A = this chain, B = another copy of it.
Amino acid sequence: MTDRSMSERSAMAAETPFVAIIDDDPSIRESLGSLLRSVGLTALPFASAQEFLQQRLPDAPGCLVLDVRLPGQSGLEFQRELTGADIHLPVVFITGHGDIPMSVTAMKAGAVEFLAKPFRDQDLIDAVHTGIERDRDRRRALDALCDLRERFRSLTPREREVMRLVAAGQLNKQIAAELQLSEITVKVHRANVMRKMQARSLPDLVRIADKVTLAGDA
């Protein structure tokens, strides 16, 4: 059995959400931090994107509050950079000197919210909660997927092939012909696939296969 990852991960019940704040103005970091702490959230202040990247983030649902104007690059660029680096923390933008094209770009890139100063405290809090909820969902889905992928990795190449063809709706006989095997051998592989993937039925396996994106229809 090699399926400990998910159990362990989701067993860590106390997943207290966090909010990372990137703003070069210390007083803003301070006031945003205390605002968020006042509603029970963990605030992590950073003075720059670089500082943020050097920090190891908690393994919990979170959200990023990002000033559009940053020391080095712009917040929008940093948002793209994060996405490119496969870091999908939801982003809430705040800005003192924003314009419409900026906000549209940010929203198109998936930002949760784009707040122009001055904004109401409650608006920021709402946005942050939305972001955290979105991250929680994303993490849950990712966890499940990682678990499946791990099981899939435990398959031998032959088993993977067989799984692909089974999920595509081929009969054992057809699979045997395609892979130049005897039908019996296919059955053995098939049984191994069912066991290793923890599929309780063929429909179950089909759904799993589709999630791991093996399919191809037929």
Contacts and interface: CB of A to CB of B under 8 A. Distances in A.
A201 interface: yes
Given A206-B206, A206-B207, A207-B210, A200 B103 contact: no
A101 B98 CA distance: 11
Contacts of A201: 168-170, 218
Taking the full assembly, how many copies of this chain does it contain?
2
B169 A203 contact: yes
A100 B102 CA distance: 9
Contacts of A218: 200-201, 203-204
Interface string A148-179: 00000000000000000011111000000000
Contacts of A104: 103, 107, 113-114
A203 B206 contact: yes
B101 A100 contact: no
Contacts of A167: 203
A116 interface: yes
Nearest to A200: B169
A4 interface: no
A202 B201 CA distance: 11
A121 interface: no
A203 B204 contact: no
Given A104-B103, A104-B114, A202 B204 contact: no
Nearest to A98: B100
A108 B170 CA distance: 44
Interface of A: 98-101, 103-104, 107-108, 113-114, 116, 166-170, 200-204, 206-207, 210, 217-218
22 contacts: A98-B100, A99-B100, A100-B100, A101-B116, A103-B104, A103-B107, A104-B107, A104-B113, A104-B114, A107-B107, A168-B203, A169-B200, A169-B202, A169-B203, A169-B204, A200-B218, A202-B202, A202-B203, A202-B206, A203-B206, A203-B218, A204-B217
